[in-house]
């Protein structure tokens, strides 16, 4: 059977809204399934010191900021939805603590380096909660659905697929090899073809019919979604839990209070978490359990300017360089955020392809007012200029502090606070002049995905969509990363991209951080913030029974 799919979008985006991390390790051997491993279906090793009988039973109570549900994963594009769908709807694979794929529903996946085609071997014996079988034809149908419902980028813009046998499928492209493709495909979530054809679209939106270890119990908008264990789950002996519930908690103080009172099993801090919140949790005896060694889990804030507006002073790279030297990031960030965020001078952390050591940088940026004034003079603005700092309440304190540094070298800055809707309208839809704070979670060691979406001409440019610039050095480096197959090619492309960012300052790194995870003392193996941001392991998480 062969199915033709016309791809409408060339940009590879972060799966799950994002968000699929292009996290193949640069050290992996592409001749060995691109460094991807098969561990029998889990991405965490169970604690063998615990009596297995004490793992069974209990209810895990999590949290997620939701107001409505859409359980039809081929249409659902909100990255966080992966959490509330995960008990029932599984992905093809997951990422381990080293940022490498571990297949869950597949035995293997291999790339043809010449054509870029990927052949997937599906595990036999996997069934959906409606009793239907997961096989090659069903996987192909899921790919069709992602495209039909406008999420073609989440299947890496696959244009064709062919069933080789009942459990083997080859996905095909006419654009050759792409280094990020496997990683995007690894986290697509599959649903039952039979359930869709029997009950229709509306049913699938309201009912998660996946291969997961749990089935829907109840979903109440803006309140909670609960699941109960599935008796016929395809992994023998799992799951351990009887029930999983995610509560809609939007206020951080309420969330922390609920956790400290034992009403919530686990809490994950976000990018607006204050140092006081972290201190409160630590003082109560809880320790962070997230993986802060995995670069794929980092979140970043950075300064962005209207470098694509030829009428803006920020169009000149020397102006951007002057501003960057003028800001004492190393002192400012600890003063604003304590230890919850780290000061950053490059848009990468160790482990990412484009991370640079100091001797690899063209410019080593640090707080230097004299250099700032020199570059400002070279730009033709020796006395400075007036500009606008557009932001929201979230970054108001940072904006005030940055304004003081810019004012000091003559860049007179007016802060303009907008609500989120007005802010997005301006920075994404208007040709404006100024500076802002942006942010994101690349979830990638490979820069072609998230950075490609935002800095490549073929991307969606979700940052400064109209007033943001495109730079040949950045685009060329992304192309090198995209075509990289060997570790040596990955390193060369990554370094070129890091240098391009360092020289163009199309984004000026400000902070990096890792979300933190705290659990009750009897909660284990949740998988939260271990391999990928919006990934967990519901089938092996357990609450230790007395």
429 class by beta-carbon count within 10 Å (0-12 exposed, 13-18 middle, 19+ buried): exposed
For the chain of 546 residues, list the mean pLDDT of each consecutive stretch of 10.
31 32 34 32 52 96 86 86 94 92 97 95 98 98 96 90 98 94 94 98 97 97 95 97 94 90 90 72 93 90 97 98 98 91 96 96 98 98 97 95 98 97 93 95 86 85 89 97 94 98 98 93 95 92 95
Assign domain 2-45+52-237+516-543 one CATH number from 1.10.1040.50, 3.90.110.10, 3.90.76.10, 3.30.2400.10: 3.90.76.10
Spatial distance between the Cα atoms of 211 and 91, rounded to a whole number of angstroms: 9
Residues near 228 by Cβ (< 8 Å), separated by ≥ 6? Answer: 214, 215, 217, 242, 243
- Angle (CA) 363-369-371 rounded to 5° is 40
Bridge partners (DSSP) of residue 180 are: none
Helix residue spans in 45-150 (DSSP H): 81-85, 136-148
**What's the pTM?**
0.81
- CATH superfamily, with its number, for domain 295-514: Dipeptide-binding Protein; Domain 3 (3.10.105.10)
pLDDT value at position 532?
A: 87
Do residues 294 and 97 touch, judged by C-beta distance below 8 A? yes
Domain locations along the chain: 2-45+52-237+516-543, 295-514
pLDDT of res. 442: 85
Cα gap 193→165, rounded to integer Å:
18
Helices 275-283 and 252-260 pack at an angle, to 10 degrees, of 0
How far from the centroid of its chain's Cα atoms is residue 389's Cα? 27
What is the reported pLDDT for 27? 30
pLDDT of the residue at 273: 59
67-92 pLDDT, tens digit per residue, is: 788 999 999 877 778 889 999 999 99
CB proximity list for 363: less than 8 A, separation 6 or greater? 321, 502, 503
Instruction: Produce one character per residue of 503-516: b if its CB has 16 or more CB atoms within 10 Å, e if not.
Output: bbbbbbbbbbbbbb
Residue 497 is predicted with a pLDDT of 98
Q: At what angle do helices 396-408 and 329-337 cross, to 10 degrees?
A: 150
> Of 373, 366, 361, which Cα lies nearest the Cα of 319?
373
Select from 154, 158, 152 the least CA-distant residue to 175: 158
* H/E stretch holding 102: strand 101-103
The pLDDT value recorded for residue 48 is 60
pLDDT at 520: 97
**What is the rounded distance in angstroms from the CA atom of residue 87 to the CA atom of residue 538?**
6
Task: Give, as one character, the DSSP assignment of residue 417.
Answer: E
Q: How far is CA 23 from CA 6, 20, 32, 82, 499, in A?
A: 27, 9, 16, 18, 20
């Amino acid at each position: 059977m062969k199915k033709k799919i016309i791809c409408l979008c060339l940009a590879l985006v972060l799966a799950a809204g994002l968000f699929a991390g292009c996290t193949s390790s640069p050290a992996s051997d592409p001749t060995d399934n691109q460094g991807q491993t098969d561990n029998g279906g889990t991405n965490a090793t169970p604690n063998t010191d615990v009596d297995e009988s004490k793992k069974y039973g209990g209810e895990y109570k999590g949290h997620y900021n939701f107001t409505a549900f859409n359980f039809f994963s081929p249409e659902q594009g909100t990255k966080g939805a992966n959490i509330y769908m995960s008990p029932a709807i599984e992905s093809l694979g997951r990422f381990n603590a080293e940022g490498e794929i571990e297949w869950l529903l597949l035995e293997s996946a291999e790339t043809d380096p010449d054509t870029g085609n990927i052949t997937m071997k599906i595990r036999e014996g996997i069934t959906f909660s409606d009793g239907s079988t997961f096989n090659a034809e069903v996987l192909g149908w899921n790919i069709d659905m992602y495209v039909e419902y406008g999420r073609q980028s989440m299947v890496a813009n696959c244009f064709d697929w062919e069933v080789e046998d009942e459990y083997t499928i080859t996905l095909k492209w006419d654009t050759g090899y792409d280094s990020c493709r496997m990683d995007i495909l690894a986290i697509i979530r599959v649903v039952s073809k039979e359930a869709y054809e029997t009950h229709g679209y509306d049913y699938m939106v309201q009912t998660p019919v996946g291969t997961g270890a749990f089935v829907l119990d109840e979903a109440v908008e803006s309140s909670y979604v609960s699941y109960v264990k599935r008796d016929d789950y395809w992994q023998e002996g799992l799951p351990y839990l009887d029930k999983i519930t995610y509560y809609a908690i939007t206020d951080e103080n309420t969330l922390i209070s609920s956790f400290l009172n034992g009403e919530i099993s686990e809490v994950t801090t976000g990018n607006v978490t204050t140092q006081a919140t972290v201190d409160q949790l630590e003082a109560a005896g809880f320790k962070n359990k997230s993986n802060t060694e995995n670069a794929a889990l980092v979140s970043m804030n950075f300064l962005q300017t209207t470098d694509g507006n030829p009428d803006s002073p920020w169009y000149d790279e020397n102006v951007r360089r002057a501003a960057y030297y003028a800001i004492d990031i190393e002192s400012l960030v600890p003063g604003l955020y304590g230890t919850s965020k780290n000061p950053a001078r490059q848009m990468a952390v160790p482990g990412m392809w484009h991370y640079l050591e100091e001797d690899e940088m063209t410019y080593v940026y640090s707080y230097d007012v004299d250099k700032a004034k020199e570059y400002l003079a070279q730009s033709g603005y020796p006395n400075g200029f007036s500009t606008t700092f557009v932001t929201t309440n979230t970054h108001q304190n940072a904006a005030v502090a940055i304004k003081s540094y810019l004012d000091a070298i003559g860049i007179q800055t007016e802060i303009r606070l907008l609500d989120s809707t007005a802010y997005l309208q301006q920075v994404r839809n208007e040709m404006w002049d100024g500076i802002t704070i942006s942010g994101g979670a690349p979830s990638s060691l490979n820069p072609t995905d998230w950075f490609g979406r935002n800095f490549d001409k073929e991307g969606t440019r979700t940052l400064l969509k109209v007033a943001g610039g495109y730079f040949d050095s950045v685009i060329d480096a992304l192309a090198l990363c995209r075509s990289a197959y060997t570790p040596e090619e990955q390193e060369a492309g990554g370094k070129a991209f890091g240098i391009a960012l360092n020289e163009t300052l199309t984004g000026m790194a400000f902070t990096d951080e890792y979300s933190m995870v705290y659990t009750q003392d009897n909660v284990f193996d949740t998988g939260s913030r271990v391999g990928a941001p919006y990934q967990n392991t519901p089938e092996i998480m357990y609450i230790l029974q007395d």
